[in-house]
Structure 1
Amino acid sequence: MSNQRSGLVAEEKQALLAAIVSSSQDAIVSKTLKGVITSWNPAAERLFGYKEREVLGKHISLIIPEDRIHEEDFILEQIGRGQRIEHFETVRKAKNGTLIPISLTISPVFNERKEIIGASKIARDISEMIASKLEKERLYEEVNVLSRKKDEFIALAAHELKTPITSLRGFMEVLQLHATADSLQAGLLERCVRQTNKLTTLLNDLLDVSRLQIGKLLLRCEKFDLVAMVQEVLSGFTHSARHRFIFKNKKPVVIYADRIRLEQVLTNLLNNAVKYTPAGGTVTIKMREAAGKVYVSVRDEGLGIEPEHLTKIFNQFYRAVDPGANISGLGIGLYISKEIITRHGGTIGVKSRKGSGSVFVFSIPKQYQQ
C-alpha cells in the first residue's frame, strides 16, 4: 500500500511538473549530454518557430548561429561538471532565420543514481529589454549632447553680456562723480549700480556653473590669512544697519587655498543668511582648527529649512523656498559653493530646523593637496 501511495505521489508530481513546463511563458528545452533535444515545450515552439516533432532527436545546434557554436561546447562542459549556468545572454536562430537575443538558465539533469544525463534550458526572449536599454542609451546621449550645448550657450551668453554690463557700470560710476550727493539723480544712479552689480554676480555664477560642467573651474592657490579674509568679506556687509554680524576670531589662521573662490563661498553663505534673516537679526560666523583642517560656520536667524530639503539644498538650481515666496535667486550659489569646497578636498553641510534658523558649516584642509 505504501509503495502504491508513493507511486501516486510521484505521478502527481510528474503531472504537476509537466503542466508547469507546458504553461510556462519561457522556452524550456531538454537535451542529452551530446546536445540531442529530448523535450520542447509550447513556449519554445512560439519562440523559435519549430514544432516539437520537428526538433525531437535533432541536435541543439539547429537553433545556434554558426558563429556561436563554440558556446555549446562551453555549456556542455559546465553541465558535465554539475554546474548551473544562470542568465547567460546570447543569441539563437529561429526557423525563419531571425536572430533572437535570449537569456539562458541551464541546469544539469540527474537520474535516480545522481548521474548527470543531460541538461534543461530555460530561454527568455530579451529583445524588448535590449531595445529598451538601447533606447535609454540613445536618450542619455541625446540629453548629454543637449546639456553640453546648453552649457556652451550659457557660457557664451554670459561672456558676451559681461562686456556691455561692465561698460554700463563704468558709465554710471562716471555719472555719479558729476551728480550732487543729495540729488534724485545720485539716488537713482546708486540703485542702478547696485542692480548692475547683482547682474554681474549672476552672470559670474552662470559662468561658474558652465565651467564646473565641463571641468574648467580651476583653483589658483596661495598662502593667506583666512581670518583676515573673513573680516574683509564682512566689511562689505556691515555697512547695512539691517543686521548684526558677529565674528570674534582675531588670531591669524594661515592656509594654502584659492582665496578668491573661498571669498565666493563665504559671500554666498552670508548673502543667504542676510536674505533669510529678518531685519534686526544676527548672523554669527565662527572658525576653529582641528586635525589639519579649518572649520567655518555661518549661523542665521532665518526661516529654517524643512527636513525634506536638507539633502537637496546643494543641488544645482534647487531652491528650498515656496515658489510664491518673495525671495530672489536661481539656486546655484550653494551648488557652486559645494563644488569649490569639494575641489579643495573639504566638505560642506547644513543643520536647520523650521523656524529656528540654519547653520552652514564648511571645512577644508589647511594645506590644499593637488
Structure 2
Amino acid sequence: MNSHNSGLLAEEKQALLAAIVSSSQDAIISKTLKGIITSWNPAAERLFGYSEKEVLGRHISLIIPKDRIHEEDFIIQQISKGLRLEHFETTRLTRDGRQIPISLTLSPIFNERNEIIGASKIARDISENIMNKEEKEQLYEEIKILNKKKDEFIALATHELKTPITSLRGFLEVLQKNVSREGINFSLLERCIRQVNKLSMLLSDLLDVSRIQLGKLQLRYEFFNIVEMVAEVLSTFIHFDKHRLVFKNRDSIIVYADRTRLEQVLINFFNNAIKYSPSGGDVEIKIWESPNNIHLSVTDEGIGIDNEHLAEIFSQFYRAVNGQSNISGLGIGLYISKEIIVRHGGTIEVKSQKGRGSVFAFSVPQKKN
C-alpha cells in the first residue's frame, strides 16, 4: 500500500473516530497531563452546560468541586503510569453550580513515539442509578418496618385469641362430662373439642412464627430420655387406623435440649407423615447416636415430594402441594421445626421421591453430664 493510500486510510479512521465521539451519548473529554482541556464533545456540553469554545484551553478543575480537587492529582498520577481507570464514581460541577454524580472511565493518550501526553475521559451521569438505589433502599426499610409491625400484630392477636379459645375448650370439656357417652351430644362435643384443639395449635404455630421473626423464641434446656419422649408422643397417635407406627428403640438415650420444642418437631413430623400418606402404611421412627450427635428420623410410605419442592420445604408458608389439594395446612410447621433445630445447633433434612414416601430427620448435639 502506497503512502497516499495509507494517508487516506488514516484520515478515514480519524473521521470515523470523530463521528463516534461527536454522536456519543456519554461525555467524552480529553486533557493534557497538566489538566488542560483539549477536546469536549456535544454530550459533554449537554451534561456540564459549557460549550466547547468556553472550555478549550481551560483547566479541568472548572468542573471539579473544591472538596474533590485532590482526585485530579490521583487521576493524573495513574494516567502517567499508563494505567486505565474504570467506573470511578465521583461528582462533578455543572455550569449552574449543581453537583452531579458521574461514573468516569479514563485512559492514557499516547503520541506517535508511544509517550503519554494526556488522558481521555468518558463521563456518564449516574443520577438516575443512584436515585433508583436510594428509592430501593428506602422501600426496603419501609418493608422491614411494615414486616416487623405485621409480626408484632400477629403476636398480639394470637396471644389475645388464645385466652378465649382456652376458655371455650374448658367449657366444652365440662359439658362433655355432663352428657351421656352414648348420646349424639357427646359425639358433637367431641368434634367441637377436636376443632378447638386444631385452632389452638394453629394459633400456637402463628405465635411461634412471630417469636422467630422478632427473635423471641426461647429454648429451655434440660437432660431427658429422648426414647421415652418419643414413646409418650406416640401414645397420643394411637387413634389412626390406617397407619402402623413402628418404633423399636428401647434403650435410654439422654439428650440435653428443650424437651417441649423437640416434641413439637416430632409431632410435626408425625402429622406430616400421616397427612401425606392418606392410603396408610407404616410410619417408622428411629433414634441413633453418633460420636457428637443424636439423630431422629420419621419415615412414611406416602405420596412423597417432587424434587422441585425439596429445596423450599422448610421455608415459611411453603407447601409442597397446590392450593387445590384437600391436604390442609399453612406451611409453617416445618419452618418452625427448622428454626427450633437450628437454634439447638443441629441440622434438619428431608429425603423423598414422588410416590415413594419421605424421610424427615434431625440431629442435635449430644451433650453429656
Q: TM-score range by the shorter chain?
A: over 0.9
Q: 2:361 corresponds to which residue?
A: 361
1:238 counterpart letter in structure 2: I
* Residues 203-212 or 350-359, more deviating: 350-359
* Residues 74-83 or 117-126, more deviating: 74-83
2:21 maps to 1:21: yes
Q: 1:137 corresponds to which residue?
A: 137
Q: 1:338 corresponds to which residue?
A: 338
- SS of residue in 2 equivalent to 1:156: helix
Q: Is the 8 A contact 1:244 1:283 kept in 2?
A: yes
Q: Is the 8 A contact 1:28 1:41 kept in 2?
A: yes
Q: 2:174 corresponds to which residue?
A: 174
Pair 254,9 (structure 1): closer, same or farther in 2 beyond 3 Å:
farther
Q: 2:44 corresponds to which residue?
A: 44
C-alpha displacement at 1:115, in angstroms?
Answer: 2.2
Q: 1:222 corresponds to which residue?
A: 222
Cα deviation, 1:293-332, whole Å, max 9, x if unaligned, reads: 1222111122221222111111111111121111111110
1:275 counterpart letter in structure 2: K
Alpha-carbon distance in structure 2 between the residues aligned to 1:92 and 1:127: 11
Q: 2:103 corresponds to which residue?
A: 103
- SS of residue in 2 equivalent to 1:323: coil
C-alpha displacement at 1:125, in angstroms?
Answer: 0.8
Alpha-carbon distance in structure 2 between the residues aligned to 1:17 and 1:366: 72
Alpha-carbon distance in structure 1 between the residues aligned to 2:206 and 2:299: 26
CA RMSD of superposed structures (Å): 1.6
1:257 counterpart letter in structure 2: A
Cα deviation, 1:328-368, whole Å, max 9, x if unaligned, reads: 11110011011111111122121222211211121221139
* Residues 331-340 or 90-99, more deviating: 90-99
1:161 counterpart letter in structure 2: L
* Residues 52-61 or 272-281, more deviating: 272-281
Cα deviation, 1:178-204, whole Å, max 9, x if unaligned, reads: 221222121111111111111111111
C-alpha displacement at 1:20, in angstroms?
Answer: 2.3
Q: 1:191 corresponds to which residue?
A: 191
Alpha-carbon distance in structure 2 between the residues aligned to 1:215 and 1:18: 62
C-alpha displacement at 1:244, in angstroms?
Answer: 0.8
Q: Is the 8 A contact 2:102 2:123 kept in 1?
A: yes
2:36 counterpart letter in structure 1: V
Q: 1:83 corresponds to which residue?
A: 83
Alpha-carbon distance in structure 2 between the residues aligned to 1:5 and 1:268: 84
Alpha-carbon distance in structure 1 between the residues aligned to 2:166 and 2:146: 30
C-alpha displacement at 1:6, in angstroms?
Answer: 4.2
C-alpha displacement at 1:146, in angstroms?
Answer: 0.9
Q: Is the 8 A contact 1:347 1:364 kept in 2?
A: yes
C-alpha displacement at 1:78, in angstroms?
Answer: 2.2
C-alpha displacement at 1:10, in angstroms?
Answer: 3.3
1:146 counterpart letter in structure 2: L
Q: 1:155 corresponds to which residue?
A: 155
1:224 counterpart letter in structure 2: F
Q: Is the 8 A contact 1:226 1:253 kept in 2?
A: yes
2:285 maps to 1:270: no
C-alpha displacement at 1:76, in angstroms?
Answer: 1.7
Alpha-carbon distance in structure 2 between the residues aligned to 1:12 and 1:283: 82
Alpha-carbon distance in structure 2 between the residues aligned to 1:255 and 1:5: 90
Alpha-carbon distance in structure 2 between the residues aligned to 1:263 and 1:152: 26
Cα deviation, 1:65-111, whole Å, max 9, x if unaligned, reads: 22222221222222223222221111111122222111111122222
1:288 counterpart letter in structure 2: W
1:207-246 paired onto structure 2 within 5 Å: 207-246=207-246
1:313 counterpart letter in structure 2: I
Q: Is the 8 A contact 2:279 2:302 kept in 1?
A: no
TM-score (norm 2): 0.95
1:15 counterpart letter in structure 2: A
Q: Is the 8 A contact 2:274 2:280 kept in 1?
A: no
Q: Which ranges of structure 1 fall in alignment gaps of 5 or more residues?
A: none
Q: Is the 8 A contact 1:303 1:356 kept in 2?
A: yes
Q: 2:60 corresponds to which residue?
A: 60
Q: Is the 8 A contact 2:280 2:301 kept in 1?
A: no
Alpha-carbon distance in structure 2 between the residues aligned to 1:69 and 1:340: 56
Alpha-carbon distance in structure 1 between the residues aligned to 2:280 and 2:75: 78
Cα deviation, 1:209-242, whole Å, max 9, x if unaligned, reads: 0011011111111111111111111111123223
- SS of residue in 2 equivalent to 1:301: coil
- SS of residue in 2 equivalent to 1:236: helix
Q: Is the 8 A contact 1:278 1:301 kept in 2?
A: no
Q: Percent identity?
A: 69
* Residues 140-149 or 182-191, more deviating: 182-191
Q: Is the 8 A contact 1:103 1:125 kept in 2?
A: yes
Alpha-carbon distance in structure 2 between the residues aligned to 1:320 and 1:254: 34
